[in-house]
Amino acid sequence: MHDIRFAPAAIGSGVRSALRLACGPALAFGLAACGGGPPGGTAEAPRPNIVLYIVDTVRADRLGVYGYGKPTSPRLDAFAAGAVLFENAYAQSSWTRPAVASLFTGLLPPAHRTVGRRSVLPEDATTLAEILAVNGYEGMGLVRNPNVGRAFGFAQGFSRFRSEDRERDETMLDRVRLWLDERQGAEGPFFLFLHAIDPHGPYDPAPEFEEMFEAGGAPAHYRTVRYLLGLNRGEVEPEPETADALSRLYDAEVAQNDRAFGELLDELEARGLVEDTAVIYLSDHGEEFAEHGRWEHGLSLYEEVLRVPLVMRLPGVPPRRVEEPAQHVDVLPTLLAYLGVEAPPTDGRDLLAARRRGDAPLDVYTHLDVDGHRAASVIRGPYKLVLPQSPSQGTAPMLFDLDADPGELTDLAADRPDIVERMLGLLAERNLAGEIVSAEEIEDDQIDEDVRRRLRALGYVD
- pLDDT per position as a tens digit, 45-96: 689 999 999 999 999 999 999 999 999 999 999 999 999 999 999 999 999 9
Tell me, what's the pLDDT at 33? 34
| Residue 357 binned pLDDT confidence (cut-offs 50, 70, 90) | confident
Tell me, what's the pLDDT at 256? 94
Q: Where are the alpha helices (DSSP H) in 241-353?
A: 242-270, 303-306, 331-339
Task: Report the alpha-carbon angle 355-361-365, nearest 5.
Answer: 120
| Of 312, 332, 336, the residue nearest 322 (C-alpha) | 312
pTM of the entire structure? 0.87
Tell me, what's the pLDDT at 229? 84
> What is the distance between the alpha carbons of residues 151 and 131, in angstroms, rounded to a whole number?
21
> What is the distance between the alpha carbons of residues 49 and 258, in angstroms, rounded to a whole number?
22
Tell me, what's the pLDDT at 187? 87
| Residue 447 binned pLDDT confidence (cut-offs 50, 70, 90) | low
> What is the distance between the alpha carbons of residues 347 and 352, in angstroms, rounded to a whole number?
16
How far is CA 429 from each of CA 18, 397, 434, rounded to the nearest angstrom?
27, 17, 11
For 147-151, 163-167, 281-285, 360-364, which range has the lowest pLDDT when averaged over its residues? 163-167
Read off the pLDDT of residues 381-394 as tens digits, 9 standing for 90 and up.
999 999 999 998 88
pLDDT at 125 over 80: yes
Q: Which domains does the chain carry?
A: 2-29+47-351+443-457 (3.40.720.10), 364-429 (3.30.1120.10)
Tell me, what's the pLDDT at 149? 82
If phi > 0 it is left, if psi is from -120 to 50 it is alpha, else beta; for residue 382 that is alpha
| Average pLDDT over all residues of the chain | 86
Read off the pLDDT of residues 41-52 as tens digits, 9 standing for 90 and up.
445 568 999 999
pLDDT > 70 fraction of the chain, expressed in percent and rounded: 84
